[in-house]
Structures are given as C-alpha cells and as structure tokens.
Structure 1
Amino acid sequence: MTQSRNEPVSEERRSPSRRNVLAAMGALPILTAATSVTGASDAVAATAAATVVVDASARRQTIRGFGGMSHSAWIGDLTSAQRDTAFGVGDGRLGLSLLRIPVPEDRSAWGRDVATARRAVELGATVIASPWNPPSSMVETFVRGGQSNARRLRYSMYGAYAQHLDDFTTSLRNNGVNLYAISVQNEPDYAQDWTWWTSAEMVRFLRENAGSIGTRVIAPESFQYLKNMSDPILNDPAALANVDVIGAHLYGTPFANFPYPLFKQKGAGKELWMTEVYYPNSTDSADLWPQALDVGEHIHRAMVDAEFQAYIWWYIRRSYGPMREDGRMSKRGACMAHFARFVRPGYVRVEATAKPASDVYVSAYRGGASTVVVAVNKAASAVSQQFTLVNGTASSVSSWVTDASRNVASQGTTGVSNGAFTVTLPARSVTTLVTA
C-alpha cells in the first residue's frame, strides 16, 4: 500500500504545505542543557515564583486519557513488549490510556490491528478508530481546485458508508475490542491523499446516516482545528444529536486558536478530543533536549487553554514519537508520560494557577482523594515553586521529574503543612506531583 500519512517527503510524504504550516510555528533552538537542580539544598539558587493555588472544588473537564496511533500497515505493528511499554504504567512505561487505529477500506484487513488493540484494552486503554478512505466502490473523483483526481464519497453511498463503519465496529467487538468511538473521516479538510469532505457534506452525513452507527461518532477531525469544519455541526441540532465527540487535530494550530467558545455554548453533553498531532515537528529526534519540553507545554495548553478531554499523538513508535524505534521511551515520551501515567481516565481537571512564572506552566487534576499537578519549567534556571491546596486535604506529596539526565524519575515524598508545600522545579524540566 502506498503510505498516505503526510510526514516529511523524504520519509513518509509529509506534504510540503503541512511542513510549511509547522515551520511557521517555529521551534526552539538547540541549547546546551543546564545542570539539573533538585533537592532542598538547591532551593536557594532557584528563582522564586508566584504561589500556585490549586482549587480541588473548581472542576473543569473530565479527562478521557492520553494516547497514540498504531498503524501496522504503514510502519509495522507494535511488538508484544512495545505494547506493554506503551500502555503499562510502571517505571519506563508511557502509561497511555488511549489507542487510535485505522479503519481499512478492505474488510480483509480489519483484523490487522486487533492484537495491539486487544492488549491495550487488557492494560486498561480505550480504543478509537478513524478511516482515511471508504471502500473504493463508494468513491468518485472530481476536480477540486488544481487537483483533478480529488476523491469524495458518492452521495448515493452515504447509507452504505455508515453500514461500513458499523460493520467495522461489530467486527472488532467480535474480536474482543469494543470501540469507544469511530470517526467519520480523518482530516477531511486536508485530503490530497485521501477523501475530501466539505462541512456541508459532513453535516448531511451526521444528520441522515450517523445515527445508525452502533458506537459513539467522532467528527470532523479537521487537520488544524479549523472551526469552519466544526461550527456547522455545533450549529445544526440534528447533526449534533448524532455526534458524540468533536475531534480535532492540532497541526500548526496557534495557541490563540485553542479555546472554542462555540463548543462551550452548544456542546453540552458532547466530548472534545484532540485525536492526532505530533509536536513540534517530525524531523528532529524525540530525544533532542530541551526541545522535547515543547511537548509538555503543548499538552498543558491542550488541557488548560483548549480544555480537551483527550490528547492523542500520531505514531506511538517513531523517531520523533513517544517511543523510539528501539522500543524505549523517548524524551518526548517522558514529557507525555508525566501526564499519561498519573492523570488517568476519569480524573477531572481542577483550577490551578496556570502560569506562576514566565516559563512555568501548571495544570492540576483530581482523581479519588488525590490531586495530581504537572509543572513544566522551560526556564534555564530552577524555580522554587510554592503550592497551596484549597478545598482539599493532603498530608504528603510524591514527585517525579524529567530533565536532561532523568526520565520520570521518582524524587520521593515531602510533607504538606496546612495545605501548603514548596518544590524546586529543576531547570528545563517536567515535574509531576501526587498528593496523598
């Protein structure tokens, strides 16, 4: 099969237009990693920051999880050990709780990703699926701009396509994998290599056909969270009734476009997921430091600014992904694991001071009796960070850190006094704090 996932042209056909979009976002220069700063003895040298107030009673979105894509047809399947590394929660593991797989056009290929999906489920993960193309018998070509062979689903085949998606759902269920949701189309607005959909076509399908699909439905999965794809769904009550998850990708999406006021206004009862991204690029090694810290900030922004309930990376195993080709967690993966391992499905994001210092990003989550805080320090110096917990209790806090020399390394436990504690955030690091 010709690979259709648009990565760098020299590797896997990441189209020039997508690469230009990402380049415009900029990337951190390569810097020499500063010596890590840890422990109370280093606190004197650390920069002071404003107190982070964590309010356990100020509940925001429910978190569905953090995950990635497995696409065995294009890059080979995960091995048994790699599945455990991806979805396990112990030391050296990513803690992913979401898996995204493709919906093959050909029914004979529907079992291709089942082994990985089944193991992910055994380890507590949730599985979703996205199609790149309908079966060829349902597709017609048309002229779109300068593309003479653009593809779209024939209007007479909308019902048959809904049946195709439902049949895939049934096939996986019969093989031990209950899909949480299935998408109508991967990136319908960036489809030179797959199937185009206009927003009007998407609304029509949702209104007239999506209700017959026997699982939750995701739409529209715009490649850049372009609201002209999702606004029409939110503004059409009949279409909105047949969609369960507003899904989006964040390729080149400016942080300023992360918030979605219309979803807050009209999306009651629906979920908001980020279903695919890599960041900041697909050309650098995932172990490049401190560039990998960009992943930590990006997830923070997706949780706090966009209020997504899920964050799903592109390929789980790739040179630029959370898992290296040798099956070990990368630096980008370590930054992701600070969220994925500790912020589990069903946890709720709670209000916290999001930016106590110019280069520090903080988010907080509540699960059971514990509060989880993830702090990203992109500064070249350590930060002495005070935390105050309100409307919640804690007697101790455990911490894990990733910096230039460590990956999600346990830092032990410190005490909490009257809801307050202070932690040194090492230079260029991610720290996860878990209260007890």
Structure 2
Amino acid sequence: MKNKIIQLLWIACCISCQSTTEQTPLVAKSTPFKVIVNPQITHQSIAGFGGANRMWGTQSLKPAEATKAFGLGDDELGLSIFRVRLSSNKKDWPIIIEAVKEANKNGVKVLASPWSPPAALKSNNSDVRGSLLPENYKAFKDYINEFIAYMAQNGAKIDVVSIQNEPDWKPTYESCDYTADDFINFLKAPGQIVGAKVAAPESLNFNQSMTNAILSDDVATKNIDIIAGHIYGGGLAPFPLAVQKNKEVWMTEFLLNLNTGNTGAAAWSTYSEAAKWAESIKMLVSIHDAMSNNWNAYIWWYLQRFYSFIGDGEQNTINGSILKRGYAFSHFSKFIRPNFVRIGVETPTTNYLKITAYKKDNQTIVVIINPELFTVKTVQLNGLTAKSATSYQTTETTTLVKTTLAINNNLVEFDIPPTSVTTIVVNN
C-alpha cells in the first residue's frame, strides 16, 4: 500500500518509460571542459548516504545482505546510514534487532522513524491518521526512550530518532497528523528524549514553512538536532535557517520505481535496462542537488527491493544480489564517507555536467554525473596537487570500470560518456 500511494505523487514528474538513447546520435562537445576544484572553499560536512530496512512484516535485513549494503570491499555498497521503523507495537521491536546490530558492526548510523505513536495515545485510538493528544506528549517521549533503551539492552544502538514520518501526508495506512505548532508544543512539553539525537519533521516534501516554524522557536530548537524531510513532489532547496541554527539537514526518504507501485501499472520486469538506467540517473541527480543545497545526508527508501540496491527475488531479480541502481548509488556512498566536507567546484559557463567535490585528510573525491545523451570530451580536472588519481565509471552497459588516470602538471584529463556517473578518487 505504501508504494502504491507514494507513486501516485509521481505520475506527472517521473521520467518517460521509454529511453531515447537509441534514437539520438551521440555528439561530442567542444574541448577542453575545464573544471577547477577549490579545497579552500568549504561547505557542509557529510553525515552519510543510506537506505531503509523493510518497515512492515517480519522481513528484515539479514547479515549477508547487510555486509553487501554496508561493507567497503569489492561488490559492497558502503551505505553509512540505515533507517528502521520505530513500531507503535512493542511486539515488533525484536524483528529489527539483528539488522540494527549488523549496521552497528559496520559503523553505520541508525535512524528510527515512527509511522504512528501507540494508538492508545492518539485522538482516534487508531494507528491510522488521528493526532497525538497533548496530554500524552510525555508518554510518547517515554515510549521512544523505552524503545531506545530496549534496543541498547539487546546490543542494538539507535543513533537518531524521528518524531513522526510524513506528518503532513494523510494516507489510509499507519500515520499520524502533526502541524508545526504540534511539533513545537511536543518539543517544549515536559520530558526529554534521551540516548539518541532527535530529527524532525520528516515532512512529505520538506515543507520549509513547517521546518522554519520549528526553528523559529528557541526552546523547540534546543530539543532537536537534525532537520529531516522527504522530497516527494518537491522540497529540494537550501535551508538557510537550519544552517544558521547549526542543525544538520537530512533527506530521509525518496523512491523512484518507474511508477510500478500504481494499480494496473506495467511490471518492473517489462521495462528495458535503458529505461531503468535513465531513472537511476534521475536518482543520482537528486543526490547531487541535495548535496549542492548543503544537505548532510541522503537516505533512499527500501535498500533491498527489485527496483533498488539489492534484489529481493521479485521481478526477475536474484535475492541478495547487488543491482545496477545499487552500484550507481555507491558512487556516492562508498567513496564519500562520513565527515568528508564538500568543497568548491568551478565549471565552464556552459556546463552539461553535475559535479560535486569532497575532501577529507589527503583524499579528494569528485563525482561527475552526465545526464545528457552526448559525450563530454577531455574534461580537465585542475586545482589539485595530486600524487595519484583513479576513476570509477558506470554507464548503462558498464559498472564501476576502474581506470588509473595520468597526472600531468597537476592536471587530470578524461572523457565523460553519455548518461553516466564517474567518481574520481584523488590522493594528494
């Protein structure tokens, strides 16, 4: 139900199901394409890139899949954030313990999001819709604290908790309605959430009026650590007030699956690899845009699903196998680790590429996405004192092709093929 309803939002804005790659000749653009990386210009610190556990039922990430999702070895994706559900029913809590412990073992931050408080604390005594009664604000904080403590007692650490998933979306499944004033009053009410950082409001399309209202209240602001939200239908923009208040900005959920969640839609397995890859490029561009807006984290929806990073055995996928979209995501997640800092990039006035750069210690990472249907020839990477440079490139037909780049007078040159993502690892 979750997938079906979410996809209704994207009928108008998802890409065409048919790729135009085969119909458009490739055109090499004029050379050179000069890019200057400037480590002296610094932006946000990166908290990580992640994906979500299955949220309902008894399926949860198993150790073998967790290793592929969180590991940094060959054929592993290096996700550094893992999102799980903080269930309104305590009987569900044990289901996620093993998966959370696997994330902990790999140094992965764990975010727990509730879809609803316990029904007994709400206005309609139901897990669906309704609101948290003000007289039960402290009781819900106590419930969240009990969850954090329970997980810790079982060797599973929760790093961040949200107050509510999509408080401004009114579905017919597990949910709860909040206004900005509700969040403010909840945060200011007696009781404190302890043992984990607090994220809010996780609105459907990162509603700035909601987040700015919370951040404009000094008392509420003291009780929140992370401004969180989703980007269904919009919301990709800078958050200057969050930066001013020294709050991290996390994108905690997004999903693209060629609208296959819609009733009567064609099955995922019926789409061409070209169509799937074109949508993966849209995913990568959304990550680029999030980073360019000074956001600190980007978290995809289910990390194990036929349209996602690791196959689940459905729609002609092999259960537990890494999918093309997972390798595409790893161009960010595997190379740009927590505490890297985004740095300055200068590009030509006519810029066909999506380029961001990051630095930590003596390593610089440059991610280049080409969403166009033509090759960009002889990209020149300048501004680095480089000892070595290696590129990892993925296209519709190739995956993480590794190439050692020649360095001449601190300049590295390479070509960027159409509809591709390239990560350059520079050791200084």
Report matched runs for 1:134-149 at 5 Å.
134-141=117-124
Q: What are the superposed Cα offsets for residues 188-214 of structure 1, whole Å, 9 maximum, x if unpaired?
A: 111333111111011111122463433
Instruction: Choose the corresponding residue for 1:372, options 354, 365, 371.
Output: 365
1:30–1:290 CA contact under 8 A, matched in 2: no
Specify the code of the residue in structure 1 equivalent to 2:75: G
Instruction: Choose the corresponding residue for 1:418, options 390, 398, 409.
Output: 409
Distance, in Å, in 1 between the alignment partners of 2:379 and 2:367 is 13
1:221 aligns with 2:202: yes
Q: What are the superposed Cα offsets for residues 61-101 of structure 1, whole Å, 9 maximum, x if unpaired?
A: 11011101102534722232211111112222221111000
Report matched runs for 1:113-262 at 5 Å.
113-141=96-124, 150-192=129-171, 193=173, 194-209=175-190, 211-253=192-234, 257-262=236-241
SS of residue paired to 2:192 = helix
Q: Which residue of 1 aligns with 2:242?
A: 263
How many pairs were matched up? 405
Q: What are the superposed Cα offsets for residues 226-276 of structure 1, whole Å, 9 maximum, x if unpaired?
A: 11221111110100000000001111116xx42223323x322x1110111
Q: Which residue of 1 aligns with 2:279?
A: 291
Q: Which residue of 1 aligns with 2:265?
A: none
SS of residue paired to 2:372 = coil
Specify the code of the residue in structure 2 equivalent to 1:152: S
- Structure 1 residue 335 displacement after superposition: 1.7
Q: What are the superposed Cα offsets for residues 268-316 of structure 1, whole Å, 9 maximum, x if unpaired?
A: 2x11101111136552569512332111111101111x22111000111
Distance, in Å, in 2 between the alignment partners of 1:46 and 1:34 is 19
- Structure 1 residue 329 displacement after superposition: 2.2
1:118–1:176 CA contact under 8 A, matched in 2: yes
Instruction: Choose the corresponding residue for 2:397, options 402, 405, 409.
Output: 405
Q: Which residue of 2 aligns with 1:70?
A: 53
Distance, in Å, in 2 between the alignment partners of 1:160 and 1:89 is 41
1:334 aligns with 2:334: no
Q: Give the structure with the higher percent strand.
A: 1
What do you get for the CA RMSD once the two structures are aligned?
2.5
Specify the code of the residue in structure 2 equivalent to 1:235: S
Distance, in Å, in 2 between the alignment partners of 1:331 and 1:25 is 22
Q: What are the superposed Cα offsets for residues 127-166 of structure 1, whole Å, 9 maximum, x if unpaired?
A: 1100011112111229xxxxxx841111111001001111
Q: Structure 1 pair 135/241, CA: closer, same or farther in 2 (3 Å)?
A: same
Distance, in Å, in 2 between the alignment partners of 1:58 and 1:28 is 38
Q: Structure 1 pair 90/219, CA: closer, same or farther in 2 (3 Å)?
A: same
Distance, in Å, in 1 between the alignment partners of 2:58 and 2:391 is 35
- Structure 1 residue 176 displacement after superposition: 1.9
Specify the code of the residue in structure 1 equivalent to 2:390: S
Report matched runs for 1:39-118 at 5 Å.
47-48=30-31, 50-71=33-54, 73-74=56-57, 76-118=59-101
Q: Which residue of 2 aligns with 1:24?
A: 12
SS of residue paired to 2:156 = coil
SS of residue paired to 1:151 = coil
Specify the code of the residue in structure 1 equivalent to 2:99: T
Identity %: 30
Q: Which residue of 1 aligns with 2:309?
A: 322
Structure 1 segments of 4 or more deviating over 6 A?
Answer: none
- Normalised by the length of structure 2, the TM-score is 0.88
- Normalised by the length of structure 1, the TM-score is 0.86
1:293–1:332 CA contact under 8 A, matched in 2: no
Distance, in Å, in 2 between the alignment partners of 1:155 and 1:383 is 57
SS of residue paired to 1:405 = coil
